[in-house]
Amino acid sequence: MRFKMSPQESLIAKTTVKFLWKVGKNGTWLTPGNWKEGIINLTSERIIIAEGHIWHEIFHNQILNLGSYGKFTPMEGDLADPIVFAEGMDYYLTLIKLPDAIRERFLALSALAIIRGSKKLKVSERGKRFPAYLELNGGGIRLYARKEKGLSHLGIIDSLRPLRSIPEKRVVKTRDERGERYFLLVGPTPHLDLLLYAMEWARVNPLRRLSELHWRILKELDRSSLTTEKLSQNIGENSLQISKALYDLLFLGLIEMSSTRSHYRLSRRGRLALELT
């Protein structure tokens, strides 16, 4: 089954995002201050990122080289509102601060949902197709259905089940605050693969994913703001490992960057995490 977007959604999908990138097994991580301009294209069944001289395509969590695209253009902005972390064989990509117009639609633009059993839908509407909108945030992934009067919140996605009667499909089971259950049928697109990855990240307590190195960095930053180099000296790890751990912590919102983007500091969420442990 192929999913298509409306012309309006296709237009919105062609937008500019900010991202950090690492290329190749021997590549170098760019520092957070080195923003680059890219284009994310969700008009097909694959997500295409254009950065610098090379096109990359995210396909089943791998980023493939697709050829040439133009030049890098530096961008200003703070690291905020991480949407998804896609990990490929040799690449790491963090999409940052998507425009509000597509924030809730990311990863779901090309998927039509079949919502069944929802008490919020009339009997005549059950089983009908509705465009699905997904919002990723620290509290999980919220599911919306677009109806005539706007978006209708259908709950927070909390688990996945395969739909055996339809090969290569997924049923997303959601439960709202009152315990009502909803089901979303989506097709096998790379968007879904990335969604599953993001859901696994959001569903599991993020603190369980932290390594000893992550905790040591948090404790160091609890004392004062530090640079990557200073953290490397204090902890006794090489800068590459420290940089990777810092990106994890930034993604989880446990640390923040200073206004000059040269130092890292503990966020309010990070301080709470230390208090809880």
Q: Name the token pair of 38.
A: 């890219």
State residue 211's pLDDT score. 84
CA dist., res. 44 & res. 49, Å (int): 12
Q: What percent of the chain has pLDDT over 90?
A: 4
* Averaged pLDDT for residues 99-117: 33
State residue 263's pLDDT score. 86
One-letter identity of residue 228 = T
Residue 237 confidence (pLDDT) above 50: yes
| Cβ-contact 181, 154 below 8 angstroms | no
Domains (ranges, CATH) in the chain? 7-98 (no CATH), 112-204 (2.30.29), 208-276 (1.10.10.10)
Q: Name the token pair of 146.
A: 């677009």
pLDDT by residue (tens digit) across 11-21? 333 333 333 33
CA dist., res. 127 & res. 158, Å (int): 21
CA angle 32, 62, 187 (to 5 degrees): 115
Query: Quick one: pLDDT band at residue 174, thresholds 50, 70, 90?
Result: very low
State residue 218's pLDDT score. 92
State residue 275's pLDDT score. 67
State residue 136's pLDDT score. 36
Q: How far is CA 257 from its chain centroid?
A: 19
Higher pLDDT, 185 or 214: 214
Select the highest-mean-pLDDT range: 15-24, 42-51, 228-237. 228-237
Higher pLDDT, 148 or 24: 148
CA angle 56, 261, 232 (to 5 degrees): 90
Cα maximum dimension of the chain:
65
List all residues 6 or more positions away from 64 whose beta carbon is below 8 Å from its beta carbon: 56, 57
Query: Quick one: pLDDT band at residue 24, thresholds 50, 70, 90?
Result: very low
Query: Quick one: pLDDT band at residue 241, thresholds 50, 70, 90?
Result: confident
Query: Quick one: pLDDT band at residue 220, thresholds 50, 70, 90?
Result: very high
- At residue 59, φ and ψ (nearest 5 deg) are -140, 115
pTM: 0.32
* Averaged pLDDT for residues 167-180: 41
Task: Supply the DSSP symbol for 31.
Answer: P
One-letter identity of residue 42 = L
